[in-house]
Structure 1
Amino acid sequence: MSSDPWGRVDETGTVYVRTADGEKVAGSWQAGSPEEALAYFERKYDGLEVEVGLLEHRAKTTDLPAKDAMAAIEHLREQVAQAHAVGDLAALDRRLTALTGVVEARREERKAARARQAEEARRAKESLVAEAEELAGSDQWRSAGERLRELVGTWKGLPRLDRKADDELWHRFSHARSAFSKRRKAHFAALDAQREETRRRKEKLITEAESLSGSTDWGPTAARYRELMRDWKAAGRAHRDAEEDLWARFRAAQDAFFQARGEVFAERDAEHRENLARKEELAAEAEKLLPVTDVKAARAALRSIGERWEAIGHVPRDARAGIEGRMQAVERAVHEAEDAEWRRTNPEARARAEGLTGQLQGAVDKLREQADKARAAGNTARAEKLEKELAGRQALLDQALKGLQEFGG
């Protein structure tokens, strides 16, 4: 017979294990010595101890579900209870009991963690719903749409709540997205309709612009093109794919008209510049008539210059005032010379001038005589009054004499 502190083998080969409740049969051994029998059943105990240790490690360090852990504990507890091993079975049972407490504690921890996670998920989803409902009324179609898509991705990454709460929040979230999508669809449908109307309006403007492209009524047509451009800008934009084509056609019609007008104006400008050069020669010729010494010859020469001037035609607008001013200055000088010559040679005017001069001379002589008499008589006040009147008449006489000189008198 062989034994150790935890078991023994009797002479029949029966193996016993010692427990707090007394010895229990662990098994029998007929194939070898009692020592080998004890060693075999001790190895079975070591195996149980290893399994208990592994389960302890898994329960404490991994996410082993509590249900699976409890099933494993019960399985090992049954094996320990069956006592088919030699060793401190009570110690293994105590470890399994302690492990049960650990699993229960971890179950509660996980339950609390799931509750916290669920509460956090609920608050997160309520926040997403609130933001989605706010975005549902936004007119920032691009940014709001992108943000709603981001919110969907965030929602999918959150844990599910209990079915009722999750469904209610999802319904609100989905309704907000649908409301935004409906408003956006309506907005862009209206925008499409507006752009289509803009396209039709611009087609009409193009039709008129193309009909005017061959016009040679430069001023009114250019003014009408400016009005068409204002109408074009006021019409807004058509669809992007149509806008460029519409503008190209509208611009082509304008370009055809303005290019033709530019060519005509360029030719006209060249002609006007040539006319200016010819008129500058005539102005220089006219200016050689000054000062006027022979009125009749000057008038004849100026008449000839004027006829050639009128035959030339228009000059550039910015040079018109200057060149015409030169001719007008010569014309005024000749006209003034003619007036002076007429006054000098008119018999009636000379006679009137001589008569006026004689009358004024008589009045001056009479006033001078009266003033001298008054001063000689000592009547100073009368003398001064007469002398003032004399001064006025003398000034008129001097002016009349100057006019008379123009007649050669």
Structure 2
Amino acid sequence: MSSDPWGRVDETGTVYVRTAEGEQVVGSWQAGSPEEALAYFERKYEGLVVEIGLLERRVKTTDLSSKDAMTAIAHLREQVDAHHAVGDLDALRTRLDALTSRVEARKEERKAHKARQAEEAREAKEKLVAEAEELAGSEQWRVAGERLRALVDTWKGLPRLDRKSDDELWHRFSHARSAFSKRRKAHFAALDAQREQARQRKEKLVTEAQALSGSTDWGATAARYRELMQDWKAAGRAQREHEEDLWQRFRAAQDVFFQARGEVFAERDSEQRENLTKKEELATEAEKLLPVTDLKAARSAFRSLNERWDAIGHVPRDARARVEGRMRAVEQAIQEAEEAEWRRTNPEARARAAGLTGQLQDAVDALRADVEAARAAGNTAKAEKLEKELAGRQALLDQALKGLQEFGG
């Protein structure tokens, strides 16, 4: 018979292990000496020690789930309780008990942490919902729209709550976004409708202006053209893609009439030169309104200047384009300022602003090249005329660049 502190082998080859509850049969050994039997079952014990040590490290250093940890503990406990090893089995049971307590404690910690996370997620989502509901009534269409999109991204990054709570909060959040979208759509639809009404009104004004262009009733027709101009201004802005074409047709019809009248009244050159002086003074006064810093004041001042302008009468043909171009440049700058104010509520306007800036830049570059060419050719008069046109275009470009900067560049 052979034995050690934790086990023995009797004369029949039966192997025993000593435990706090007394000796337990480990197994029967008939293949060799008792020492070999004890060594074999001691190695099985050492294997259990290694497995328990590995599991202890996994529990301590990894995010092993409580369920998997408890399954592994139960499996090792079954092996220990089967008494198929020789060694301090009671010590292994004590380690497994301690490991079980540690796993259960970590399970509770994770449960509490998960509960805290859920509460934090709930609070965060409730804040998102509250902000979305507040934004639903905003008229800052671009800013509010961008913020709502950012809130959606934030929502997606938060953990889900229980299904009922999450669905209820999402329903409120989604309803707020939908309400804002409907209001924004209605707002821009109303703007589109207003611009369509303006287009239709201006089409009628163009038609009447064209019908009057061949009239020789100089006084009455000129007066009517002034009334048409006031109607034009009162009609408001048409869609951007139609406004310039309508204006060119409207102005072209007037030009036909006033050109004919100018030819008939050629003998009034003296009066017309006086008119030119007055209009140049008005143009100079109008140009002082640029750059536009107070839109309402600039619009009112220009309206007054324009009324005085219209009251002055005709100027010599060769000076008309130049002096009218100066006033038109100021008027367009004011219109661009008005358009910039509208664009701030239109999320699609930035690309169009960039396009306009490019077109104006091309026009400025072309005029600058023409000025240089005229000076190179020794044509000082033409160069001076082109420089004044260039100044008007540059003012427009500066205004357009300022409007583009409102979109962040």
- TM (norm. structure 2) is 0.59
Cα pair distance change 1:41/1:189, threshold 3 Å: same
Give the distance between the partners of 1:175 and 1:163, measured in 2 at CA: 18
Residue in structure 2 matched with residue 184 of structure 1 by the alignment: 184
| Residue 8 of structure 1: how far off its partner (Å) | 2.8
Residue in structure 2 matched with residue 163 of structure 1 by the alignment: 163
Give the distance between the partners of 1:6 and 1:12, measured in 2 at CA: 18
Cα pair distance change 1:33/1:271, threshold 3 Å: same
| Residue 264 of structure 1: how far off its partner (Å) | 6.7
CA deviations on 1:229-263 (whole Å, 9 max, x unpaired) are: 33233222233333344334334434555566667
Give the distance between the partners of 2:75 and 2:117, measured in 1 at CA: 32
Q: Which amino acid aligns with 2:4?
A: D
Structure 1 segments unaligned to the other structure (5+ residues): 274-315, 318-409
CA deviations on 1:22-48 (whole Å, 9 max, x unpaired) are: 222223334444333333322322222
Residue in structure 2 matched with residue 127 of structure 1 by the alignment: 127
Cα pair distance change 1:199/1:24, threshold 3 Å: same
Give the distance between the partners of 2:232 and 2:40, measured in 1 at CA: 103
Give the distance between the partners of 1:247 and 1:224, measured in 2 at CA: 17
Cα pair distance change 1:93/1:207, threshold 3 Å: same
Cα pair distance change 1:34/1:139, threshold 3 Å: same
Equivalent pairs, count: 275
Cα pair distance change 1:150/1:263, threshold 3 Å: farther
| Residue 267 of structure 1: how far off its partner (Å) | 8.4
Residue in structure 1 matched with residue 42 of structure 2 by the alignment: 42
Residue in structure 1 matched with residue 198 of structure 2 by the alignment: 198
Cα pair distance change 1:52/1:269, threshold 3 Å: same
Q: Which amino acid aligns with 1:81?
A: D
Computing the radius of gyration from Cα coordinates, the structure with the larger value is 1
Residue in structure 2 matched with residue 80 of structure 1 by the alignment: 80
Asked if 1:105 corresponds to 2:88, the answer is no
Cα pair distance change 1:121/1:263, threshold 3 Å: farther
Give the distance between the partners of 2:226 and 2:105, measured in 1 at CA: 87
Residue in structure 2 matched with residue 68 of structure 1 by the alignment: 68
Residue in structure 1 matched with residue 304 of structure 2 by the alignment: none
Cα pair distance change 1:251/1:65, threshold 3 Å: farther
Summarize the alignment of residues 247-262 of structure 1 with structure 2, pairs less than 5 Å apart.
Answer: 247-257=247-257
Aligned Cα RMSD in Å? 3.1
Q: Which amino acid aligns with 2:104?
A: E
Cα pair distance change 1:86/1:237, threshold 3 Å: farther
State which drifts further: 40-49 or 239-248.
239-248
Higher relative contact order (CA 8 A, sep 6+): 2
Summarize the alignment of residues 315-330 of structure 1 with structure 2, pairs less than 5 Å apart.
Answer: none
| Residue 220 of structure 1: how far off its partner (Å) | 4.7
Residue in structure 2 matched with residue 137 of structure 1 by the alignment: 137
Residue in structure 1 matched with residue 209 of structure 2 by the alignment: 209
CA deviations on 1:69-117 (whole Å, 9 max, x unpaired) are: 2222222211111122222221221111111111121112112111211
Cα pair distance change 1:272/1:128, threshold 3 Å: closer
| Residue 170 of structure 1: how far off its partner (Å) | 2.0
Structure 2 segments unaligned to the other structure (5+ residues): 274-314, 317-409
Of all paired residues, the percent bearing the same amino acid is 83
SS at match of 1:63: coil
Give the distance between the partners of 1:258 and 1:9, measured in 2 at CA: 131
| Residue 135 of structure 1: how far off its partner (Å) | 0.8
| Residue 130 of structure 1: how far off its partner (Å) | 0.9
Give the distance between the partners of 1:255 and 1:4, measured in 2 at CA: 124
Give the distance between the partners of 1:208 and 1:222, measured in 2 at CA: 13
Residue in structure 2 matched with residue 368 of structure 1 by the alignment: none
Q: Which amino acid aligns with 1:100?
A: T
Residue in structure 2 matched with residue 8 of structure 1 by the alignment: 8
Residue in structure 2 matched with residue 285 of structure 1 by the alignment: none
Residue in structure 2 matched with residue 116 of structure 1 by the alignment: 116
Summarize the alignment of residues 351-366 of structure 1 with structure 2, pairs less than 5 Å apart.
Answer: none
Give the distance between the partners of 2:12 and 2:211, measured in 1 at CA: 128
- TM (norm. structure 1) is 0.59
Cα pair distance change 1:272/1:262, threshold 3 Å: closer
Summarize the alignment of residues 275-290 of structure 1 with structure 2, pairs less than 5 Å apart.
Answer: none
Residue in structure 1 matched with residue 278 of structure 2 by the alignment: none
Give the distance between the partners of 1:224 and 1:69, measured in 2 at CA: 95
Summarize the alignment of residues 390-409 of structure 1 with structure 2, pairs less than 5 Å apart.
Answer: none
Q: Which amino acid aligns with 1:104?
A: E
